[in-house]
Amino acid sequence: MTQRYLILEDGSVYAGNGFGAGATTTGEIVFNTSMVGYQEVVTNQIYHNQIIVYSQPIIGATGISHDSYESILPTAKGMVVRDVATISKNRQRSLSLDQFLKQHNIPGISDVDTRQLIRKLQSVGTIKGSIVDVADDHAFDQLHATVLTNQQVAQVATPKPYPNPNTGYNVVVIDFGLKHGILRQLSQRHCNVTVLPWNADAQAIISLDPDGVILSTGPGSPLDVPESVLEMVRTIQERIPLFAVGLGHELFALANGASMTRLGTAHHGPNHPIRKIITNDIIYAEEAQEYVVDSETVDRNRLITTYLDLIDGSIQGLRHRDYPAFSVQFFPDGAPGPHDSVDLFDEFMEIMGTREG
């Protein structure tokens, strides 16, 4: 074990023990409250350029498995944990967390008082930090001087289209940095999927004659995504059934005239109860959001609010009044997290089905 440090922009220093890669990295610090699914979290591209603090005190006990990747080449900048399990067991285990992090050059730091750290993050909000070998003035200068990109989507989304052939509905997925859970759910429903880059224009989508279009999850701020994407959303929603998740939901809201604000403290975890308005059911799902739709800017003549967070009342789902187009802020694919809302994919299949005949 080598001693390493997590340093934050506000001058605080957390000493800990390094695991995984020995790299020095800088990123935004976010915390995640999932009890399980550390692999899905660290491989999710929404954490591009971010250092993830886990509230679950022991991380790594089940290793890394083939089934739980949410991206091929994860680009998170680090993991901060209370305890890292040195022994991992699971029937699906193929690697230890330590080996995995070394392969992807992601540093980890353990033995950090994550409870204290999370309390701080809850009060200061988004803050930059670095995982370093020496916490001296030089390290802080480097941290302050580092400017993080706001072009996260372009960094992680596929630059070229690719197919995931099957025999069912023809679905186009627009990749803003998608998590594999979306493709997994579509594969289970035998969809013939084409994944297009985030900047695909409406004509390119229409020319593939899809039965439905999905706007994927992704990293960063929806406000940094160019207007041309919103234009594409407006064109597509009028013609083709549309399902938008995560960043896709945020873009769907923007495209329909709503505005977004940054949350004081991001939601990352499955412990927010969510009310499904139409049936008054309460569900749980993995939320991972830094931005929220301003509810007073939702035009009631265009959009219906379909899901609400019961803790802070934030909008978690929208649906267009005139077209079969709907979106959810949370991740319904259950990777990781509860499967309460996984049938949104079935709903999407059925919507595509009604347009067939």
Partner 1 sequence: MAKVVVDAMAMQRALTRITYEIIEHNKGIDGLVILGIKTRGVFLAERIASRLKQLENASVPVGELDVTKYRDDIEHDGTENDPKVTVSKIDFPITDKKVILVDDVLYTGRTIRAAMSAIMDLGRPKQINLAVLVDRGHRELPIRADFVGKNIPSSQNERIKVSVTEIDGQDSVEIMRQ
For 9, which DSSP code?
T
Distance CA 166, CA 259 (A): 37
Within 13 Å of residue 322, how many CA atoms lie on the same side as its CB? 10
* Per-position x/- string for 329-348, each x denoting binding to partner 1 as judged by CB under 8 A, each - no binding: --------------x--xx-
The single residue among 277, 283, 284, 302 that binds partner 1, judged by CB under 8 A, is 277
Closer residue to partner 1, CB minimum distance, 197 or 324: 324
Per CB under 8 A, the segment of 12-20, 21-29, 277-285, 329-337 that binds partner 1 is 277-285
Closest CA to 54 of 79, 18, 27: 79
Is 278 near partner 1 (CB under 8 A)?
A: yes
Question: By CB under 8 A, which span of 44-52, 57-65, 131-139, 321-329 interacts with partner 1?
Answer: 321-329
**Identified binder of partner 1 from the candidate list 324, 329, 334, 338, rule CB under 8 A:** 324
Question: In this structure, are strands 127-132 and 303-309 parallel, antiparallel, or unpaired?
Answer: unpaired
Instruction: Give the strand pairing for 303-309 and 273-276.
Output: antiparallel
321 binds partner 1 per the rule CB under 8 A:
yes
For 91, counting Cβ atoms within 10 Å of its Cβ (0-12 exposed, 13-18 middle, 19+ buried), the class is: exposed
Pairing of strands 50-54, 25-32: parallel
**Which of 173, 319, 340, 352: binder of partner 1 (CB under 8 A)?**
319
350 binds partner 1 (CB under 8 A): yes
For the bound state, the minimum distance from the C-beta of residue 90 to partner 1, rounded and expressed in Å, comes to 30
Site for partner 1 in 289-318 (CB under 8 A): 304, 306
Element (H, E) at 215: strand 212-215
Contact between 238 and partner 1 by CB under 8 A: the answer reads: no
Asked if 126 and 290 touch (Cβ cutoff 8 Å), the reply is yes
C-alpha dihedral (47, 41, 291, 155), degrees to nearest 10: 30
Using rule CB under 8 A, residue 280 touches partner 1 = yes
Region of 52-60, 178-186, 202-210, 323-331 interacting with partner 1 (CB under 8 A): 323-331
Q: Which is nearer to partner 1, 38 or 326 (CB)?
A: 326
Q: Which stretch binds partner 1 (CB under 8 A): 94-102, 188-196, 248-256, 320-328?
A: 320-328
Closest by Cα among 297, 187, 304, 176 to 245 = 176
- Check: CB of residue 74 under 8 Å from CB of residue 42: yes
Residue 306 beta carbon to partner 1: minimum distance, rounded to whole angstroms: 8
In the complex with partner 1, the residue whose CB is nearer, 180 or 319, is 319
The whole-angstrom separation of Cα 291 and Cα 178 is 17
Closest CA to 229 of 211, 215, 245: 215
For the bound state, the minimum distance from the C-beta of residue 244 to partner 1, rounded and expressed in Å, comes to 15
Our CB check for partner 1 shows the closer of 231 and 350 to be 350
For the record, the structure tokens of 194 come out as 């084409």
**Interface residue with partner 1, options 124, 201, 323, 338 (CB under 8 A):** 323
CA torsion, ordered 54, 56, 58, 60, to nearest 10 deg: -60
Quote the CA–CA distance of 263 and 257 in Å, as a whole number: 19
Q: Does residue 279 interact with partner 1 by CB under 8 A?
A: yes
Shorter beta-carbon distance to partner 1: residue 223 or 278: 278
Nearer to partner 1, 102 or 275 (CB): 275
Minimum distance of partner 1 from residue 234's CB (angstroms)? 17
Lookup result for tokens 């969510």: 274
Task: Give least dist CB 277 to partner 1, A.
Answer: 5
Q: Total residues at the site for partner 1 (CB under 8 A)?
A: 20
Give residues 44-103 in contact with partner 1 (rule: CB under 8 A). Answer: none
- Sequence-ordered list of residues with C-beta below 8 angstroms from that of 90, at least 6 positions apart, any chain: 62, 63, 65
CA-CA distance, 225 to 239, in Å (whole number)? 22
Chain positions contacting partner 1, by CB under 8 A? 277-280, 304, 306, 319, 321-324, 326, 343, 346-347, 350-351, 353-354, 357
